[in-house]
Amino acid sequence: MIDCLEKLGAEVRISAEDLFEVRGISNETIGCDLHLSCRESGVTINFLSGIASILPGNVILDGDSGLLGRPIGELVEGLRQLGVKVRYLGEKGYPPIEISSDAITGGTSVMAGSITSQYFSSLAIASVFSDSDTSILCDGDMLEKPYLDITLEMMGQFGVTAHHNQYREIRVQCGQKYKPAEIWIEGDYTSASYFLVGAAICGGTIEIHRLKSNSSQGDRLVIELLRDMGCDIDINDDVIRLQGRELRPIDCDLSDNPDLVPSLAVAASFCEGISYIRNIEHLRYKESDRITSMINGLNNMGVQAGCSSRDLVIFGNPHQIHGAEIRSYNDHRVAMSFAVAGLRVGGIVIDNEKCVEKSYPDFWIHFQKFYQ
């Protein structure tokens, strides 16, 4: 994301204290006719599709093989309805794409909500610059709703507002201006979930700091789910303390929390009984087909798992789980989740371990620190 933003004319400086200083794109720094590689990052190509729509010149958004297999057709149609010129450079419905538009006219755009809320976040961020007010409609139920909440909250911190009506319509008023701001990025519940699940399946204790207790992050749900599975959990001043206990199977809907599915699937495998993780069909369009990736990995460890309609079904059997070679499918969340399983049974060998750098570059360092 940073590489692409810098090519678009932004200046980003990172200090040793994890401080990011960003000088935004101005008329003087905007380039034109750019070819940007989003590598394997879906959120990068989705968000930059909106941003590229308001910049002059032609912008090609490309990526590595994994990204080129992820659908983007719904977002392209949403942009076109707002007056943006987009064309496919390969297979229709998939990257790479070329955007040759310097404005969003505004008006009404309709997109299906069945793949990702990132499409709606992208249009909401960019529609602030549209020529007229914008209404973004969701056809059907929107999946991953909390991520849209995070987007709108962050837009507010930078001085602009957008509102949704029960996630069916997002209204963005034109003429607003983003303003510089100093913000603090809270701890990430998704990244924390691997360590919480690790303590849960091992019957251990862990304390994690700087997780905002009233966060808009949907993945804070991991706290309630692990509590339902039998863990003791205390929360005090943004500090979470978990004590693992004998785990119970779970029946939960993770349609809004897809990033929790891999780690919760591993936790469910260590429960006696059948667990159901429901309404997760959109996981087939992530860095890998995560439903298949998880089923294959669990089966390799001796856990019976399968897909029933839109649900992942796991027959927990903690006493029969064994070490195995696990294919990550170049998917960071698959790799991190099965690493956690290795804490309990050992003998887990994961290929392409560096894929975790997509979202958590220090994962293996922290993993060793907490569980050596």
Query: Where in the sequence numbering do the catalytic residues fall?
Result: 259
Element (H, E) at 43: helix 42-52
Question: What count of Cα atoms within 13 Å lies in the side-chain half-sphere of residue 283?
Answer: 29
Burial level of 288, CB count in 10 A (0-12/13-18/19+)? Answer: buried
Four-residue CA torsion sign, 271, 275, 278, 280: positive
| Residues linked to residue 181 through DSSP beta bridges, in sequence order | none
- Helix pair 118-127, 145-157: axis angle to 10 deg: 20
CA distances from 65 to 103, 113, 292 (A): 30, 25, 18
Q: Are 1 and 40 in contact (CB under 8 A)?
A: no
φ and ψ at residue 209, rounded to 5 degrees: -100, 165
Q: Are 90 and 96 in contact (CB under 8 A)?
A: yes
